Amino acid sequence: MIAFVSGPVAALAPDSAVVEVGGIGIAVQCTPNTLSGLRMGQPTKLATSLVVREDSLTLYGFVDDDERQVFELLQTASGVGPRLAQAMLAVHTPDALRRAVATADEKALIAVPGIGKKGAQKLLLELKDRLGAPVGAPAVGAPVTQGWRDQLHAALIGLGYATREADEAVAAVAPQAEAADGTPQVGQLLKAALQTLNRAR
């Protein structure tokens, strides 16, 4: 199994990155949260999980080993494949998922695209003893209290958007960020910003 990839970021897309490893470009599927921390040409190290299918080999990348472990544990639940596991981590940090399962928070799981009320109830039952207790300390990529505008702007520039486009996208998602309970999550805001940019093009 490929445990991690390390090297300069050669390309960025809304849902993936290419990391150059020994002269070879390795495509890695990532959540918006993970992508928001990557910069073109800058070195990075991503924990990875290789998913093997009959017709494909897909590498998923994460900011740390904890996120990768949760990604793999989520797939032990029936009906959860890599795409849904990644969607869950796009919406929630590993600790937020542990907290949701520990407190039987259906609404938190229903917030993930592709999970309905029945699916959330089933997942809460199946994952109850698998994810463990919340760690408590904010993980890398956890919500930040300050600087979400700067982080989001830098992430959009890193994805190749012009400064003006990045400024407009940040302004477009500002109401969503200010309306968020607690602190805004840069990963979710990046996803919303990309949607506004795609509509504008």
This prediction's pTM: 0.67
Are the C-beta atoms of residues 172 and 53 closer than 8 Å to each other?
Answer: no
Q: What pLDDT does 122 receive?
A: 92
Question: CA-to-CA distance for 160 and 54, rounded, in angstroms?
Answer: 34
Q: What pLDDT does 201 receive?
A: 56
The closest alpha carbon to 113, from 89, 92, 143, 88, belongs to 88
Q: What pLDDT does 182 receive?
A: 58
pLDDT digits (tens, 9 = 90+) for 43-94: 999 999 999 988 889 999 999 999 999 999 999 998 899 999 999 998 888 9
- Rg of the chain over Cα atoms, rounded to whole angstroms, equals 17
C-alpha 164: how far from chain center: 25
pLDDT digits (tens, 9 = 90+) for 1-11: 789 999 999 99
> What is the rounded average pLDDT of the residues 20-24?
94
Phi–psi pair at 95, nearest 5 degrees = -65, -35
Q: Kindly report the number of other CB atoms within 10 A of residue 56's CB atom.
A: 7
Q: What pLDDT does 183 receive?
A: 61
95, pLDDT greater than 50? yes
Question: Residue 51 has which token pair?
Answer: 């998913």
> What is the rounded average pLDDT of the residues 80-109?
90
Number of residues written out for the chain:
201
Q: Kindly report the number of other CB atoms within 10 A of residue 25's CB atom.
A: 13
Among the residue ranges 25-29, 79-83, 196-200, the one predicted with the least confidence is: 196-200
Q: What pLDDT does 154 receive?
A: 74
Per-chain mean pLDDT for the chain: 84
**Amino acid type, 26:** I
Q: Which percentage of the chain shows pLDDT scores above 70?
A: 90
